[in-house]
Protein backbone atom coordinates (compact mmCIF):
# COMPACT_ATOMS: atom_id res chain seq x y z
CA UNK A 1 0.00 0.00 0.00
CA UNK A 2 1.32 3.43 -0.96
CA UNK A 3 1.59 6.07 1.74
CA UNK A 4 -0.10 9.33 0.86
CA UNK A 5 1.06 11.27 3.91
CA UNK A 6 2.96 13.70 1.69
CA UNK A 7 -0.27 14.76 -0.01
CA UNK A 8 -1.85 15.84 3.25
CA UNK A 9 1.26 16.99 5.11
CA UNK A 10 0.19 20.09 7.01
CA UNK A 11 3.58 21.80 6.56
CA UNK A 12 3.28 21.46 2.80
CA UNK A 13 -0.33 22.69 2.78
CA UNK A 14 0.53 25.67 5.01
CA UNK A 15 3.51 26.60 2.83
CA UNK A 16 1.44 26.48 -0.37
CA UNK A 17 -1.21 28.66 1.27
CA UNK A 18 1.32 31.33 2.33
CA UNK A 19 3.09 31.32 -1.02
CA UNK A 20 -0.16 31.38 -2.99
CA UNK A 21 -1.38 34.56 -1.32
CA UNK A 22 2.01 36.27 -1.44
CA UNK A 23 2.59 35.45 -5.10
CA UNK A 24 -0.83 36.87 -6.03
CA UNK A 25 -0.58 39.96 -3.79
CA UNK A 26 2.85 40.87 -5.20
CA UNK A 27 2.02 39.98 -8.83
CA UNK A 28 4.96 37.56 -8.97
CA UNK A 29 5.16 34.78 -11.54
CA UNK A 30 6.81 31.37 -11.37
CA UNK A 31 7.78 28.53 -13.68
CA UNK A 32 9.17 25.13 -12.73
CA UNK A 33 11.49 22.55 -14.28
CA UNK A 34 11.07 19.23 -12.49
CA UNK A 35 13.12 16.09 -12.78
CA UNK A 36 13.15 14.02 -9.59
CA UNK A 37 9.86 15.50 -8.34
CA UNK A 38 8.10 14.47 -11.55
CA UNK A 39 5.42 17.17 -11.53
CA UNK A 40 4.56 16.96 -7.83
CA UNK A 41 5.70 20.53 -7.14
CA UNK A 42 3.66 21.88 -10.04
CA UNK A 43 0.57 20.04 -8.82
CA UNK A 44 1.08 21.58 -5.36
CA UNK A 45 0.72 25.05 -6.87
CA UNK A 46 -2.06 24.22 -9.29
CA UNK A 47 -4.09 22.54 -6.55
CA UNK A 48 -5.05 26.05 -5.41
CA UNK A 49 -7.80 27.95 -7.18
CA UNK A 50 -6.44 31.15 -8.69
CA UNK A 51 -2.92 29.81 -9.23
CA UNK A 52 -3.04 30.83 -12.89
CA UNK A 53 -2.41 34.39 -11.65
CA UNK A 54 1.22 33.43 -10.93
CA UNK A 55 1.87 29.90 -12.22
CA UNK A 56 2.89 30.31 -15.86
CA UNK A 57 3.94 26.75 -16.60
CA UNK A 58 6.26 23.87 -15.95
CA UNK A 59 8.11 21.05 -17.61
CA UNK A 60 8.75 17.57 -16.30
CA UNK A 61 12.19 16.94 -17.78
CA UNK A 62 12.86 13.56 -16.24
CA UNK A 63 15.28 12.24 -18.85
CA UNK A 64 18.57 13.68 -20.05
CA UNK A 65 17.05 13.89 -23.52
CA UNK A 66 14.20 16.07 -22.26
CA UNK A 67 16.59 18.41 -20.47
CA UNK A 68 18.62 18.74 -23.67
CA UNK A 69 15.63 19.18 -26.01
CA UNK A 70 13.37 21.42 -23.94
CA UNK A 71 15.68 23.29 -21.57
CA UNK A 72 18.66 23.69 -23.89
CA UNK A 73 21.00 21.91 -21.47
CA UNK A 74 24.20 20.96 -23.26
CA UNK A 75 24.85 17.22 -23.31
CA UNK A 76 28.51 17.97 -22.49
CA UNK A 77 27.43 19.69 -19.26
CA UNK A 78 25.46 16.60 -18.24
CA UNK A 79 28.43 14.35 -19.00
CA UNK A 80 30.94 16.65 -17.28
CA UNK A 81 28.95 17.48 -14.14
CA UNK A 82 26.38 14.69 -13.86
CA UNK A 83 22.66 15.14 -14.33
CA UNK A 84 22.06 15.47 -10.57
CA UNK A 85 24.45 18.35 -9.97
CA UNK A 86 24.56 21.98 -8.94
CA UNK A 87 25.55 23.02 -12.46
CA UNK A 88 22.61 21.26 -14.12
CA UNK A 89 19.95 22.33 -11.62
CA UNK A 90 21.04 25.96 -11.90
CA UNK A 91 20.87 25.78 -15.70
CA UNK A 92 17.42 24.22 -15.40
CA UNK A 93 16.20 27.04 -13.12
CA UNK A 94 17.69 29.79 -15.30
CA UNK A 95 16.41 28.31 -18.54
CA UNK A 96 12.85 27.65 -17.33
CA UNK A 97 12.68 31.20 -15.98
CA UNK A 98 13.78 32.58 -19.34
CA UNK A 99 11.49 30.32 -21.40
CA UNK A 100 8.40 31.36 -19.45
CA UNK A 101 9.59 34.93 -18.76
CA UNK A 102 8.79 34.69 -15.05
CA UNK A 103 10.10 36.39 -11.93
CA UNK A 104 11.22 33.05 -10.50
CA UNK A 105 12.42 29.82 -12.08
CA UNK A 106 12.45 26.76 -9.83
CA UNK A 107 14.13 23.43 -10.56
CA UNK A 108 14.74 19.98 -9.07
CA UNK A 109 17.03 17.10 -10.00
CA UNK A 110 18.39 14.14 -8.07
CA UNK A 111 17.99 10.58 -6.88
CA UNK A 112 15.02 10.00 -4.58
CA UNK A 113 15.08 6.25 -4.05
CA UNK A 114 18.72 5.21 -3.82
CA UNK A 115 18.66 2.56 -6.52
CA UNK A 116 19.93 3.53 -9.93
CA UNK A 117 19.72 1.39 -13.02
CA UNK A 118 22.27 3.73 -14.57
CA UNK A 119 25.01 1.76 -12.84
CA UNK A 120 26.40 -1.49 -14.25
CA UNK A 121 25.39 -3.25 -11.05
CA UNK A 122 21.60 -2.75 -10.75
CA UNK A 123 21.71 -3.69 -7.07
CA UNK A 124 24.27 -1.02 -6.26
CA UNK A 125 22.76 1.54 -3.96
CA UNK A 126 23.59 5.19 -4.38
CA UNK A 127 23.11 8.02 -1.94
CA UNK A 128 19.67 9.60 -2.05
CA UNK A 129 20.19 13.26 -2.78
CA UNK A 130 18.69 16.08 -4.75
CA UNK A 131 19.63 19.54 -5.93
CA UNK A 132 17.11 22.37 -5.86
CA UNK A 133 17.49 25.80 -7.41
CA UNK A 134 15.76 29.16 -7.54
CA UNK A 135 16.61 31.65 -10.31
CA UNK A 136 15.71 35.31 -10.80
CA UNK A 137 17.04 37.92 -13.19
CA UNK A 138 19.60 38.90 -10.54
CA UNK A 139 20.78 35.66 -8.93
CA UNK A 140 20.63 31.88 -8.83
CA UNK A 141 20.58 30.02 -5.54
CA UNK A 142 20.95 26.26 -5.19
CA UNK A 143 21.09 23.74 -2.38
CA UNK A 144 21.96 20.06 -2.06
CA UNK A 145 19.67 17.87 0.04
CA UNK A 146 20.48 14.46 1.50
CA UNK A 147 17.34 12.32 1.52
CA UNK A 148 16.53 9.55 3.99
CA UNK A 149 12.85 8.73 3.40
CA UNK A 150 11.12 6.44 0.90
CA UNK A 151 10.67 7.61 -2.71
CA UNK A 152 7.31 9.37 -2.32
CA UNK A 153 8.21 11.09 0.90
CA UNK A 154 11.59 12.14 -0.53
CA UNK A 155 9.73 13.80 -3.41
CA UNK A 156 7.66 15.71 -0.85
CA UNK A 157 10.80 16.65 1.13
CA UNK A 158 12.48 18.02 -2.02
CA UNK A 159 9.34 19.97 -2.93
CA UNK A 160 8.98 21.46 0.54
CA UNK A 161 12.66 22.50 0.59
CA UNK A 162 12.27 24.34 -2.71
CA UNK A 163 9.09 26.00 -1.50
CA UNK A 164 11.05 27.14 1.55
CA UNK A 165 13.70 28.73 -0.72
CA UNK A 166 10.97 30.60 -2.55
CA UNK A 167 9.34 31.63 0.74
CA UNK A 168 12.60 33.12 2.01
CA UNK A 169 12.89 35.17 -1.14
CA UNK A 170 9.36 36.59 -1.29
CA UNK A 171 8.00 36.77 2.25
- So where are the chain's domains? 28-170
Beta bridge partners of residue 32, listed in sequence order: 58, 106
Q: pLDDT at residue 170 above 90? A: yes
| Pairing of β 30-34 and β 55-60 | parallel
Q: How confident is the model over 144-166, as pLDDT tens digits? A: 999 999 999 999 999 999 999 99
**In Å, what is the CA distance from 165 to each residue of 9, 82, 132, 162?**
18, 23, 9, 5
CA triple 70-71-74, angle to 5 deg: 110
Helix axes 86-100, 64-71, angle to 10 degrees: 40
Q: 8 pLDDT band (50/70/90 cuts)? A: low
Closest CA to 83 of 47, 110, 119: 110
Return the percentage of the chain with pLDDT > 70, whole number.
88
Fold for 28-170, please state it. Answer: Maf protein (3.90.950)
Altogether, the residues listed in the chain come to a count of 171
Distance of CA 64 to the CA centre of its chain: 15
| Pairing of β 104-111 and β 30-34 | parallel
Q: Flag whether the pTM goes above 0.85.
A: yes
- Residue 158: per-residue pLDDT: 96
- Residue 38: per-residue pLDDT: 97
Whole-number Å distance between alpha carbons of 63 and 66: 5
Q: pLDDT at residue 131 above 90? A: yes
Whole-number Å distance between alpha carbons of 114 and 116: 6
Q: pLDDT at residue 1 above 50? A: no
Query: Exposure of 139 by Cβ count < 10 A (0-12 exposed, 13-18 middle, 19+ buried)?
Result: exposed
Amino acid sequence: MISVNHFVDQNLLDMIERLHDTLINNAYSISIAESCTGGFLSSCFTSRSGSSAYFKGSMVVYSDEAKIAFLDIDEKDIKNHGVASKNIVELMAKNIQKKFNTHFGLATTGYVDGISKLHKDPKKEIENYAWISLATDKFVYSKRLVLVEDRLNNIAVVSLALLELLRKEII
